[in-house]
Each structure stands twice: as C-alpha cells, then as structure tokens.
Amino acid sequence: MSLPSPPLRDLALSRQQLDRAGAARSAPGLLERLWASPGTRVLRVHAGRAPVVVTGEGPRLVLRAPAEVPAPGPEDLQLYLGVQDGVEHLAVVSADAEPEAADGSAGDEEWRGLREVGEQLPARDAGLFTEALSMGNWHAVTRFSPRTGEPLDAAQAGWVKVEPGGKEHFPRTDAAVIMAVISPDDRLLLGHQPVWPANRYSVLAGFVEPGECFEDTVRREVLEEAGIVVGSAPEDVRYLGSQPWPFPASIMVGFAARALTTDIRVDGDEIALARWFTREELAEEVGAGRVLPPPGVSIARRLIEAWYGGPLPVPAGDSWA
C-alpha cells in the first residue's frame, strides 16, 4: 500500500491570482480614492452570496464600477481586496439578504454561494470571493474586544479592528487537518457525521489544538473519531495540499495517512458511521447514489479522488445539501 504523493494541483479556492497588496492597506484615504476611481471594480457579497452571470465558459463574478454600486450601509464592511493587472478591487460585505431586482435590471445576474460556484469560477474570481467571504465572516463575529469588551472599529481598509485605545486585532484563521486514511490493504476510510444528509460520506477532519503539529493532529483525530491507529513514522502521514475554507474561517491542510489498524470504533459524536471502501465498492456505491461524496469544490473530494485515481462516478445533479 502506497500513499498518494503531493501536491494536489489546482485546488478550487486555492488558485490565488490577485496581489493582495498588503502594504497599501494602511495608506491614508485608500478607500475614498478607490471609490472615486471609475477603474475600481467592486464585488458585492450579501449573506454569503455574490452576483454571478453564467457564460459559455461557466459562472463569472459580476464586478461593477463604484458608480454602479449602491452606497454601503453603516453596518456593511468595506474591504480592499488587492490589485490585478493594474485594476484595484474592493468588496462590500453585508449580512443582509441579496438585493431584489424585480424590475429586471439585473439581467442574467444571479446571487450564488461559494459552495455552489467556487469550483467553476476562474482563479481570480474564486480568490476574490473566498477573500471577501473570509473577511466578512471574521468581522461579523469580531465586534468587541476580547480584552475589554469595548466595541471595535474597522481600520486599514477592513483588515484590522481597533479598540478605542488603539489596540489592534488582526484576522484569524482556524487550522484544520483533513485526511485520506488508507488501510494496509489499500482501502479508504470514510465517515458520516450525524448532521449530514443520509448517505453523505467524507474523509475525516479536525481542528489543530494549541501546541500541536499537523501530523499529530491527524493521528489524534483519526484515533478519537474512528478508533484507528495511524503509524508514528514520518512517512506515515504525508502532506498533500491546503485549501482556504471560509465556512466560516478555516484553512484545510490535507494529508494522506497510513493506518496500522482497521477495527472501527466511532465516537458517536463527530462521526456516527464509518466504513472502509475498496475502489470498486466506492465506485458502485457512488454510482448508485447510496454514497454521496463531498462536493467537488472541496479538498475532501480531491483527497478521495487522489486515492481513487481519478474523478468519482457521481450522478448528475448531486450537490452538498
């Protein structure tokens, strides 16, 4: 049994093409200057959804000039996203539902979530949407100082939140591991969480604890959730790739892991059911709709397919419900 080799290429949401231009965020009057420039392009995000149009090459974000965008509300986040080919990009992120356009002025524009369209978006669009959604989620839950309880104000073009006394708070990302666990006879371990739709299976995952390295998190999570022992040698846990996952604020770090044991004992909390699959069994179950794999936008699907050796035979119309 051999583990898949890195890297996983062209992961959806990981194909960043934008220069985030971090040094520009603290420039005085940056947002005001960009709002006044007709060359700026603005991405609107409402309740986790952004406007797209479907072209012959797939969905594309609708990016508008500042004069074509409604003025941001007092609770909206204004965020500098960065620059590409000389074009500056902003986002306006709101918790409100997407605006209605009953008069037909939106044309073919549709409001869609990142899970729905992230896999089909081109690299620039996927990066813009992921960045804006991640930062919007952080702002939504970071309203007060964890030190003093005082309200925080946005600064540095949306990338910092500041206490009245000047103490700065920076965006956080929660590190999580996600792993394709492979048995000595080359079967793949998949689990089902209680909150998922019936028959939904995916690879195991879990958050990194303070003072813990990624490889040890892989071993701990697999043992806790499924009762499976992963080898302790360095080659028993192999890094394959990473993907930002703004649902709400994670970076998924992908691994392949070599199991030493095969007797499954699920914890009943995080994982309700778990099974070992051969390639033939997984293809049959997925093709018949008895096993629903994770969505194509996710690194979870790519980890499964790296072991499987190609795309899964997923029935048309399957989506992550």
Q: By the 8 A CB rule, do 184 and 260 touch?
A: yes
Query: What pLDDT score does 275 carry?
Result: 98
User: For the chain, how big is the Rg over CA atoms in Å?
Assistant: 22
pLDDT tens-place string over residues 19-43: 999 999 999 999 999 999 999 999 9
Residue 46 above 90 pLDDT?
A: yes
Tell me the pLDDT tens digit for each residue of 78-107. Answer: 999 999 999 999 999 999 988 865 444 556
pTM of the model: 0.93
What is the band of 262 on the pLDDT scale with cuts at 50, 70, 90?
Answer: very high
CB count within 10 Å of CB 35 equals 16
Which carries the bigger pLDDT value, residue 315 or residue 214? 214
Q: Where are the beta strands (DSSP E) in the chain?
A: 41-46, 49-55, 58-61, 77-84, 87-94, 110-113, 153-155, 160-162, 168-169, 174-182, 188-192, 204-207, 237-245, 250-258, 273-277
197-201: average pLDDT: 95
Strand 237-245 relative to strand 250-258, pairing: antiparallel
**Mean pLDDT across the chain:** 94
Q: How confident is the model at residue 102, as a pLDDT?
A: 45
Estimate the share of the chain in helix, then strand, then coil, as percent rounded to the nearest 5.
25, 30, 45
User: Exposed/middle/buried for 232, CB within 10 Å: 0-12, 13-18, 19+?
Assistant: exposed
pLDDT above 70 as % of the chain:
96
